Structure 1
Amino acid sequence: MVSPIRTKRLVLRMPSSDDLESIVSMLSDYEVTKMLSRVPHPYSEEDGRVFLQTVESQEAEWPNGEELTFFVDHSGEMIGAVFFRKLQGEPEIGYWLGKAFWGNGFMSEAVAAALDWLFNTTQHDRVSAEAMMENPASLNVMKKLGFEVVGESSCASRARGEAVRATKVVLSRDGFKRIATV
């Protein structure tokens, strides 16, 4: 079992079938999904059910699974997600936030908590991520948390049906510790 992670304003927790309505509502917004690689648009209730089944099974596979997803709650309401991929190799982190919650620093707080969990729970020494170049908010989260740019790539956007330019970044355990103690 993966215990919830608590911050000053947020709780990062394992997904539940009770989250279906919130997921479908937030991921039905093209402004959110156009910045994500794996999420289709339009986003249906069936897409939400399949997603929930996938992420709910991840906890059962922990610590041997490849992926783990935390849902982010604020004041008892699910507002987004932070997830890790490639946990048996060099992990990648990703995240999304419902549009109604943008601009409040929630994702910086949630990602920092998830990174702290990763570096304190696993032996991983670094984590990578990528963000679409036209997503300055996501790039700012990464910069604030100490990620360093290592290059550019092309990433798929299912919602757009095309590949878009992205910035690739990495964060070392030591780099995160330096930022976390400031």
Structure 2
Amino acid sequence: METMMKGEDSEEVEIDLEDSSDPDEYDNGDEPQTLWRAPPAMEEEENIHTSALVEISDTKPLINVRDPRGINDCLKVTFEDVIAEPVTVRSGDRVWIWSHALFEVSRVWIYRIVTVLLAIPVSIISGLLFAIFSCFHIWMVSPCIQCLSVGTRWLQSLWSIVLGIIVLPFCKSAGKCCAGFSVHLAKE
């Protein structure tokens, strides 16, 4: 039996999918567990500042997933990847623990300091270079390739005819000649 109840203060929907043949299940006074709670309604004031254009923007940074394509998977380095002691040669436990802690702290904080110093200038230079290369490609390379393609359409047709008349029959006959050969390997 399915039961749906809506509370007055919060939008809560309860769906009971249990068998109705067991009426003594909730005799201890406990209410059934809420299986699904509807999200609170979004106020119009909250939607004023968020539009569909902002949600799909290319300039909105990814905060949680900063390497979605796995470009820098090779940089996933841990302490154990750099320093590893075999069973036969070991330092003291405290030395190992402190070395591990200092490695992690220095790796994280030096990276953060260097990124504070270099991230913004490198981002600006990279954006400038990609903008220049994109503009050059869009306005120079692509039109030149299209002009060459239009101007050499006759050459493309001629080349396909030459391939079809001369090269294709030669390759087919060479393939049929070579198909008659067989190689048998035997151990002696």
TM range (shorter): under 0.3
TM-score normalised by the chain length of structure 2:
0.18
Tell me: higher relative CO, structure 1 or 2? Use CA pairs within 8 A at least 6 residues apart: 1
Normalized per residue, the structure richer in helix is: 2
| Structure label with greater radius of gyration | 2
